[in-house]
């Protein structure tokens, strides 16, 4: 008696080049490679800059959960980042008014100064990207990315998992 191995027809996977996560990652890297030298020159990682940038855009001090949601950095990683930035005296911890056990964070004068120092260079990079890609195309990209987020939703802390 012969044994026959049944081969199940499997739907072929889309080509790697048409993987949406990979296309987004590739585009992100094309953008970030332009920003990294400036961040490195200021001794900042991308995640540290995201936290500082989020704080600079806020008109109030932020709780860690707010920062996590704004920056898409998990709470364990964010806790380490906050300690590092606090140690560098770029941010300051305070007590939350409504919850004395809770902390909130804001930029120190040194943190504000760093943002002011990086901002003009950052804007030059954005201008270069718009020259190379096209202003209308960049505006379309923002619209499309926002549409994706609106339709697919923003991930929760649990869905974020690792950074």
Q: Which CATH architecture has domain 19-151?
A: Orthogonal Bundle (1.10)
Q: What is the pLDDT of residues 112-152, one digit of tens each?
A: 999 999 999 999 999 999 999 999 999 999 999 999 999 99
From residue 150, alpha-carbon distances to 8, 14, 142, 144 in Å are 38, 25, 12, 10
Q: What is the pLDDT of residues 58-107, one digit of tens each?
A: 989 999 999 999 999 999 999 999 999 999 999 999 986 766 668 999 99
pTM higher than the cut 0.85: no
């Amino acid at each position: 008696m012969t044994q026959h191995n049944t081969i199940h027809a499997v739907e072929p996977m889309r080509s790697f080049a048409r993987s949406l996560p990979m296309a987004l990652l590739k585009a992100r890297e094309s953008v970030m490679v332009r920003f990294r030298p400036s961040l490195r020159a200021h001794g900042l990682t991308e995640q540290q800059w995201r936290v500082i940038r989020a704080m600079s855009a806020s008109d109030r001090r932020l709780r860690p959960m707010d920062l996590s949601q704004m920056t898409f950095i998990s709470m364990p990683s964010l806790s380490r980042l906050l300690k590092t930035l606090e140690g560098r005296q770029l941010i300051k911890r305070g007590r939350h008014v409504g919850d004395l056990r809770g902390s909130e964070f804001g930029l120190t004068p040194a943190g504000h100064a760093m943002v002011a120092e990086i901002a003009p260079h950052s804007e030059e990079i954005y201008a270069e990207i718009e020259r190379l890609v096209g202003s209308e195309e960049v505006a379309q990209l923002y619209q499309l990315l926002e549409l994706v987020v609106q339709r697919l939703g923003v991930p929760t802390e649990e869905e974020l998992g690792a950074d």
